[in-house]
Chain A
C-alpha cells in the first residue's frame, strides 16, 4: 500500500540527520507517503511504527533519533486491528 505512494519503490535513499528530517524529506518528495505515515500535525500515526535499524524510535529519541550514514529506517503497520 505504501509503495503505491512512491512509484512502487520498496526502498528510498535519503540524506537526513534525524528521523524527523527524513520525514521532512519524504513530505517534500512523496507527500502521499508522508501523509500515510504522519498526521498533518506532524505526529506519527497511531498505528504506524518506525524503526531505526532494529530499534523502535520510541525506545530511542522518538522523531529526534539521530541518523548516521547507512542507517535503515523501516516503516511498518503496527500489529493491531480486527
Chain B
C-alpha cells in the first residue's frame, strides 16, 4: 500500500482523522469518533501494525481510551484506562498525553491530576508510575488554567522527560523509576522566586533523535518584568536551560515543534500573553534555523488581520517527509497546513469543533 499521511485531530466534540496521499494533495476527513466527547490527546503508534489511540474525556461518565487498528476507520474502547489505586484517594480527571514506550506494546500516559501510568499490553491494563505520581513535590503542584496535568512525556533511552503544568520539568535517568525536578534556568512569573526549584508552568517540551541532549521548551512566558523565560533550550539533557526567545514577538505560546531532519530548526507559535490569541490578530508560526539564535516569521497564506484564535499545547505537529509540513489546529476549529517547512500555509478544514490535539504520521 502506498504511504499516506494520517492526521489525528482531537476536538472538544470528538476525534476526527484526516488522510491524504504522500503528496499531501486532497485530505479526506473521517469522524467524529467518540462523538460529543472531548479528546485531549491522540497517538499514532507506527511500531508494527499502525495503531491510533485517542483519549475520550467525558465529563459525565469519565475517561476512556479508544484504539483503532485500521488507521482510524473504526475505534474500540480499550479494556481499561489508567486509574489510581482505590486507597490512593485521587480520581482521574483527564487524560493529557499518550506516548509509545520502548517495548513493542508499551505505552505511557500522562493524566490529570498530574500522574504517570504505563501499559505493557497496548493500553488494556495500566500501572501507576509511583516515582512521579507519588513524588514528594506532588502535593505542592498547583493546577494551571487547563488543570494540574502531566502533558509531556519525552523518552530518550533511559532518560524520561516530563512536563507538568504547573510542576515544571522532571527528569528520570533510570528508565522512569525515579524522577527529579530539573528546572535550572526555567523561570516562573507567578511566584516571588523567579527561578524556583519546581512549580513552573511548562507548556511543551520537544527533542530530536539526532541531537542527544538537545531539548526545546515552551514555557509560560509573557511576563514583562521577567522577559525571555518563555522559550528555552537545553544542551545537556535538560539539566540546565537558557532563553532563546530573543527576536520573537512574544515569548508566550503553547506548542513547540522541531524539524524531523534538522535539530537546529525549531518552530513556535507566539501568542499575546493576556488574551492568548494571535498578536494583533495576525497569526504566524515563527521558525529558527539556528537553534534559536534568530527567528523568522512564517505567515504566507494565513489571514493578515482579524484572526484571534488560540493554538493549544498539543495542537501543532510536523510530518517526517523530506520537505516536512507543519499542521496546527485552532480553538476556532480550523486545521492549517504549512507546506515546505511552513513557508506556504493553507486551511485544510475550516469548521471543525475547537481543536485540542493534532498528531501526524506517515504510514
Contact = CB atoms under 8 A, between A and B. Distances in A.
Nearest to B91: A39
Nearest to B92: A40
A77 B59 CA distance: 10
A37 B90 contact: no
Interface string A51-74: 000000000000000000000000
A77 B61 contact: yes
B interface, over-half SS: loop
A31 B62 CA distance: 13
Interface string B75-111: 0010011011110111110000000000000000000
Given A40-B91, A41-B88, A41-B90, A31 B61 contact: no
B274 to A, nearest CB: 24
Given A31-B80, A39-B91, A47 B60 contact: yes
A77 B37 CA distance: 14
A36 B81 CA distance: 11
Number of chain A interface residues as a range = 10 to 19
Contact of B61 (A2, A40, A43, A81): A2
A40 B86 contact: yes
Contacts of A78: 60
Interface in B63-83: 77, 80-81, 83
| Most interface-central of B62, B88, B89 (chain A CB within 10 A) | B62
Contact of A39 (B58, B59, B62): B62
A35 B86 contact: no
Interface of B: 58-62, 77, 80-81, 83-86, 88-92
6 contacts: A31-B80, A36-B61, A39-B62, A39-B92, A40-B86, A43-B91
